[in-house]
Structure 1
Amino acid sequence: MVSTVQTVAVIGSGYMGGGIAQVLALAGCQVVLGDLDAETAARSYDRLTEQAAAFEAAGLFPADATDTIRAGLRPAASLEDAVADVDYVTEAVPEVRAIKADVLRRISAAARADTIIGSNTSAIPISELARSVTLPARFLGVHWMNPAPFIPGVELIAPEHTDPEVVDRIEHLLRRAGKVPARVSDSPGFVANRLQFALFKEAALMVEEGLATAEQVDLVVSNAFGFRLALFGPFAIADMAGLDVYNSSYESLQAEYGDRLAAPRSLAELVESGHLGIKSGGGYLAIDPAQQQELLAHRDSAYARLSRLRAELGTAPGLSVS
């Protein structure tokens, strides 16, 4: 049995921390907001409850969400007061190493010895931040996505020092909150931001080289492969498209851009061995061949429904393309 987390402190009650606090309060936790001082925490409490009311009125939060959040949150007089007697602390202060290190030291000194401590860092290795934590077996990375109330994915990063039971307890908490946790390795940027920033760098290079405008790049991404990524990950998309197609495309890219865009070794090896994706019975993913047609039918239906939803939503305010 996984011991349930009931009480939480969120340290850093700004945009990310505030969203995390709302989600965990809606999951039934008692959540304490800690920030620079009592006044900042109190202002955050007012902002978060007002925002919850607006989300509820717009149908983005469930009915009675405002009352639940109002009852489940409380501002603390200080960081130390916030973490003094809770099951779990999530640190969500700015992505500055010195600030995070100082805050984690203060949390360690003021929290119970059995309190789990998580960091919402976007890219700093957890093993590095662990140097500022007393009893690092209770420490892990818990990387939420922005905006926290509405993006389902959360990365769980647990280096060797982290107690496996700690990871289980936080994964259970996240699932209770309706999130989709993924356990990933402790490396800079983890999975989400390493991919996201690699894409952004390539997009920026295209603009800098005069190959496309920023608007043109966004138009292509949001209506082409980015459209698919709303429903499937890159390996599922590749397996459905055909790994031989991908490998041939990489040959053209390598001819122009060099080894930077050469085929990944794993892709070349799969194609060489005849594993071309679902059309050959196997690729990167273990997809049941008996469900191939069912998968493709699901894909087509999902894409059609997503197209209708996008048409219904229209162009995002302030953007000329979406």
Structure 2
Amino acid sequence: MHFGVIGAGQMGAGIAQVAAQSGFTVTVQDVKDEFLARGQATIEKSLARLHEKGRLTETPADVLSRIRFTTDLQDFAGCDLVVEAVVENEAVKADLFRQLGQIVKPEGILASNTSSIPITSLATASGRPERFIGMHFMNPVPLMALVEVIRGYSTSDETARRVTDAARAMGKTPIECNDFPGFVSNRLLMPMLNEAIQCVMEGVAEPEAIDGIMKLGMNHPMGPLTLADFIGLDTCLSIMEVLHRGLGDDKYRPSPLLRKMVQAGLLGRKSGRGFYSY
């Protein structure tokens, strides 16, 4: 299979790595060579770690030989499946899929790794809604088993079958759901993180205590505030806004503290500070 990935950031690099480990021929595109170089370095580091632990059957060089990096979208013309993993912005994604719909061969499937943007809306932009689907990988992609497979309004059974087969070939467990705001993963997760942030704002407990209670009491591997920092508070805010707008219920209203921290540039791990310092 010729597998395409758009975006060489944390998610895109992870998806490309797993696809290449599965024996797929992979093309990765980003807008600048420096982004591609950073993505390649991420993949090399991850493969080296897996190799050291004996969890890689081939050498890292063998896996990397199946990945090609490019800044040109035209290089996706022959792809069987293209997964988009760019910034979580509907206008940017829709514009990208309008272009891809003209470039990728007619039988090729287009997929979005979006965590909350409506699949049906992006499918319409692509001009091939029956061959469009959501493939929501979990972070970090090389380690997490789940792929949330989201059918749009017009996604065909054949498209869903081919994508679940591809996910299984990548060593993942695909689980299907329908196209509602936040799908299943973020509809359940984000309100929990948002509530933890409300607890900080209302002085219910210190961040360490909130995380400690959820880790020890609910057996969560990571506390909700640590997880929010890991995801990025700006990403959490944008997903809460999608839920609030899409479902129209005040229980999805973003915490004022979350909004204030994003305004202050305290985005979590990526900015060096969120609920904790890094």
| Pair member with larger Rg | 1
Could you tell me whether the CA contact under 8 Å between 1:7 and 1:29 is conserved in 2?
yes
1:145 Cα deviation from its structure 2 partner: 0.6
In structure 2, distance between residues paired with 1:214 and 1:25: 39
Moved more, 61-70 or 168-177: 61-70
Change (3 A) 1:54 1:228: closer
In structure 1, distance between residues paired with 2:210 and 2:116: 25
The one-letter code of the counterpart of 2:50 is F
Change (3 A) 1:65 1:139: farther
1:179 Cα deviation from its structure 2 partner: 0.7
Change (3 A) 1:50 1:202: closer
2:10 alignment counterpart: 15
The one-letter code of the counterpart of 1:93 is V
Name the count of aligned residue pairs. 225
Moved more, 135-144 or 97-106: 97-106
Could you tell me whether the CA contact under 8 Å between 1:90 and 1:118 is conserved in 2?
yes
2:122 alignment counterpart: 129
1:69 alignment counterpart: 63
Q: What TM-score results when the alignment is normalised by the length of structure 1?
A: 0.66
| Equivalence map 1:79-98=2 (5 Å) | 79-81=73-75, 83-98=76-91
Secondary structure of the residue aligned to 1:224 is helix
| Equivalence map 1:1-322=2 (5 Å) | 6-38=1-33, 40-57=35-52, 59=53, 61-81=55-75, 83-227=76-220
What value does the CA root-mean-square deviation take over the aligned residues?
2.2
Could you tell me whether the CA contact under 8 Å between 1:8 and 1:89 is conserved in 2?
yes
Could you tell me whether the CA contact under 8 Å between 2:10 and 2:39 is conserved in 1?
no
The one-letter code of the counterpart of 2:140 is P
The one-letter code of the counterpart of 1:13 is A
Stretches of structure 2 that go unaligned for 5 or more consecutive residues are 223-250, 252-274
Q: Which runs of 4+ in 1 moved over 6 A?
A: none
Sequence identity (%): 35
Could you tell me whether the CA contact under 8 Å between 1:139 and 1:162 is conserved in 2?
yes
In structure 1, distance between residues paired with 2:215 and 2:27: 38
1:77 Cα deviation from its structure 2 partner: 4.1
Q: What TM-score results when the alignment is normalised by the length of structure 2?
A: 0.75
Q: Deviations over 1:188-239 (max 9, x none)?
A: 110111111011111112221211111101001111213499xxxxxxxxxx
